Chains A and B, each alone.
Chain A
Amino acid sequence: MSFALTLDFVLRQDDFVLEMHEQVADRAVALYGRSGAGKTMVLDTVAGLRRPHRGRIQAGDHVLFDSKAHVDLPARHRRVGYVPQDVTLFPHMDVRRNVMYGAGRSTSNMLAHVLDLLDLEPFLDRRVGQLSGGERQRVAIARALMAAPDLLLLDEPLSALDVELRARVLPYLVRVRDDLRVPMLYVSHHADEVRAIADWVIHLERGRVTAAGPAEKVLAAAAGTGGLDSPG
């Protein structure tokens, strides 16, 4: 069963213009590009935290924004799970309350599954401040998943982790993709991560899409034109 993600909008912030006209059928999509390219802005816009000037954003059958039809769903109704770059776990709540924050009723089955998927069972009663970087990342993913989103947004989930941790957490992301089959929009500037997670890659440079297509093709082209594998 295919999934359609429509990212067709224009957004202006000061001198920066972000413009996309993409229609994607794959479930695991990556936004690839240097920092400053506007990748986080795209995620904020899809999540409903920023409003584009015009355009249309649709995830599956769910229209999130349509300037012509005057549709602009507030963030809380978009059913979009967001794992931000700075993690942003609620510091005054323990892991359990963080994870359960967006969960509706009758989710106990799902909880067990998600905790198992991300190996979080032993951490449930810990305070957020007591967790390592990798653990926090997993809690953030679990929290987003427990809200039963139609689309999962991940903003450089592994960039704050060292090489070893990155290698440890990446499999969890793959698990989430394969096991729960939640469509993903994954932001990263690391080619190997993108290769591992995404089927479709959108290359973003200074607010514009310079390439979009199957992962290998786009990554090869990017490597050829000067490589984004370099950090930052």
Chain B
Amino acid sequence: MLTSFLGACFIISRLYIADIDEKGNNMKIKRNKFKKEIPFHLMLLPGVILTFIFSYVPMAGMKIAFEKFIPAKGLFGDQKWIGFDNFTYLFNMPGAMAALKNTVIIAAWKIVLGLIVPIVVALLLNEVRSSKFRRTVQTAIYLPYFLSWVIFAGVLLDILSPSSGIVGQIIRFFGGKSPFFLGSNKYFKSTLILTDVWKGFGFGTIVYLAAITGIDMNLYEAATMDGAGRLQKMWHITLPGIRMIVILMTVLSLGNVLNAGFDQVQNLISPQVYESGDILDTFIYRIGMIDAQFGPATAMGVLKSVVSCVFISVSYYVSYRFFDYRIF
């Protein structure tokens, strides 16, 4: 842990030395320049310290995955190193592979629908003539995003309840038989995916609506002159106009391939649907915090972090390289 911090300090100091060495005669000016930069370093200090403690120390703490970890001895106490034993133990654990499979399936569906639905809704919203109606719809569809998953899950548990829920009542009204959405392995995954889209689709339209406003109005006018209908204009102007942002969002969303949404699943899952709905994060939480098996839980966490890191890095690199997208 300390070494990485020292390493950072070393890099910083090297930057200055290199600067000064190159143009040795300018040392005074350089020192003056450094003086001018001191306030910047001071401003960054609190943020760097907090980030170091709460992000970099846990990164170093991933070593727990390779230890026979005894919490009482502390994070950096004298723990016994056992190599990959935790990983072997993990792979023999019932449910671990199912959790991985569920995670990928749920996350993939969420990524795909989380891209398509907002784009379609944004296109539909763009076709609305009355701006009053459009604004009202926007106000309504953004709302679920701001509710916490605890609240939203509370609402879902109520309206999806097979006996007294409003959805069940509607299904029965039309003569159907209400399924137990949250209690049967058959429906649980689709319920997770659809409710996630439900909560987030409205908010997802923002980016695309913003991109649509950037399209040159003259294009539409020209198309109208050429006799293009509305669907044709949508297909040949609006969609290509937001093509770049759509691809960019697709690439960036790849980083979520192992994020099936802990907040949602943890709030909706129950033991009878572990088979279809248990994901990596809920699995880690259960074996780590509830059963206090710190080693295997961290091992799972390390696997998740490493794979996610690769995906996120690639997606950022691709967006940077091809779309000139940069975060800082």
- Are A and B genuine complex partners? no
